A = this chain, B = another copy of it.
Amino acid sequence: MSDLSRFGISIDERLLRRFDALIGKKGYVNRSEAIRDLIRGALVEEDWGDDDRETVATVTLVYDHHTRDLSDKLTEQQHSHHREIISTLHIHLDARHCLEVVVIKGQASRVKRLADELIGTKGVKHGKLVTSTTGQNLL
């Protein structure tokens, strides 16, 4: 592990009060830890622009499996990318609704395209991509 640096931030007092309230509520032990997390989050989003880097991502989908051909289409799309998709967790929310979490690993641009395809499938009620990294680049 490398050395610690220290630097100062100037900030509007009211903004700081709201931030302190937020991090208190979120359970952080101090401002440094909270800000380091914000910085890591920003770096993770940025990595994402870097198109041939290996990334890992999750896609959360909610849909009604009674929608004509929808399950079949989602299954077909996922199988045609079986090398990138590590696994899919399926929760049967009720008699109709499914929550599916698809874990994808691969080149950022391909992962993004696959996520867009899944989320954009007609009938998917809610879809959200969370991009992360494979961990080695974060400190």
Interface residues of A (CB under 8 A from B): 1-16, 18-19, 22, 25-29, 31-44, 46, 56, 58, 60, 62-65, 71-72, 75-76, 78-82, 85-99, 101, 103, 105, 116-117, 119-120, 122, 124-128, 130, 132-136, 138-139
Contacts and interface: CB of A to CB of B under 8 A. Distances in A.
A3 B6 CA distance: 23
Copies of this chain in the oligomer: 4
B126 A133 contact: yes
Given A32-B10, A37-B120, A87-B90, A19 B5 contact: no
A139 B105 CA distance: 31
Nearest to A36: B11
Contacts of A2: 12-14
